[in-house]
């Protein structure tokens, strides 16, 4: 009778151990998937930011301006990426030119991108240039 009780207690412990190992593997798998998703979104953000930066540098009128695009891509697909454009420009016309270029390039990478305009018009830049 004692052997039966010990045998069932041992198999119960083994079942709990197996369930714990399976649970741990599931948690590790979820963690790896989330890390991979985060990495993919960061790569998308870097690509978007680089594409817009390159476009700004290709424009002869805009090459000397200190305009910086910063991309933020959310983890979940279906939510729009956000591109913040910061810097100073000499005229309102130049500001509009920068925003049109940034929007055109960003839409080629991600059609759902939203722009956050943080550009400042600084007339002192116009006198220096």
Residue span of the structural domain in which 120 resides: 2-128
Q: Are 56 and 67 in contact (CB under 8 A)?
A: yes
Task: Give CA separation, 103 vs 4, 38, 80, 85, 96, in Å.
Answer: 74, 24, 14, 10, 10
In the chain, the number of structural domains is 1
CATH code of 29's domain: 3.30.70.1350
pLDDT digits (tens, 9 = 90+) for 105-122: 999 998 999 999 999 998
Q: Are 84 and 69 in contact (CB under 8 A)?
A: yes
The region that residue 87 occupies, defined by phi over 0 for left and psi between -120 and 50 for alpha, beta otherwise, is left
pLDDT digits (tens, 9 = 90+) for 48-71: 999 999 999 999 988 888 899 999
Q: What is the pTM of this model?
A: 0.74
Give 82's strand partners: 72, 114
- Residue-level pLDDT at 79: 85
């Amino acid at each position: 009778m004692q052997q039966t009780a010990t045998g069932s207690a041992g198999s119960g412990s083994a079942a709990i151990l197996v369930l714990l190992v399976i649970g741990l593997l599931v948690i590790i798998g979820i963690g790896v998937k989330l890390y991979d998703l985060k990495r993919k979104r960061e790569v998308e953000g870097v690509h978007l930011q680089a594409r817009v930066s390159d476009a700004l540098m290709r424009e002869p009128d805009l090459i000397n301006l200190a305009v910086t695009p910063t991309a933020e891509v959310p983890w979940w697909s279906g939510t729009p990426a956000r591109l913040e454009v910061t810097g100073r420009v000499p005229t309102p016309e130049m500001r509009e030119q920068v925003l049109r270029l940034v929007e055109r390039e960003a839409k080629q990478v991600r059609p759902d991108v939203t722009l956050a305009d943080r550009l400042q018009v600084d007339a002192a830049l116009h006198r220096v240039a």
